[in-house]
Amino acid sequence: MAAFTNEEYADIMMAYGRADGNAREARRIYEERFPNRRLPSRSTFQNTYRRLRETGHVQNNETRGVVVRHNVRIDEQILRLFEEDGARSIRNVASLLEISIWKVWKVLRQNNKHAFHYTPVQGKFTTV
The whole-chain average pLDDT of the chain stands at 83
> Are 20 and 59 members of one domain?
yes
pLDDT digits (tens, 9 = 90+) for 34-71: 999 999 999 999 999 988 888 888 776 555 554 556 67
Cα distances from 123 to residues 29, 83, 91, 120, 128, in angstroms, run 50, 27, 29, 9, 15
Per-residue pLDDT of the chain in tens (128 residues, 90 and over written 9): 468 888 999 999 999 999 999 999 999 999 999 999 999 999 999 999 988 888 888 776 555 554 556 678 888 999 899 888 877 888 888 888 888 888 888 888 888 887 766 666 766 666 65
- Residue 88 within a domain: yes
What is the Cβ-side half-sphere exposure of residue 13, based on CA atoms within 13 angstroms?
17
Q: Of 57, 55, 42, nearest to 10 (Cα)?
A: 57
* Parent domain of 58: 6-64
> Are 73 and 125 members of one domain?
yes
> Are 15 and 52 members of one domain?
yes
Domain boundary among 39, 64, 89: 64
**Is the whole-model pTM more than 0.85?**
no
> Are 84 and 98 members of one domain?
yes
Residue 79 belongs to domain with CATH number: 1.10.10
Length of the chain in residues, anyone?
A: 128
Q: Of 36, 48, 42, nearest to 4 (Cα)?
A: 48
Residue 100, helix vs strand vs coil: coil
- Residue 1 within a domain: no
> Are 60 and 74 members of one domain?
no
Dist CA 114 CA 98 (whole Å):
20
The structural domain count of the chain equals: 2
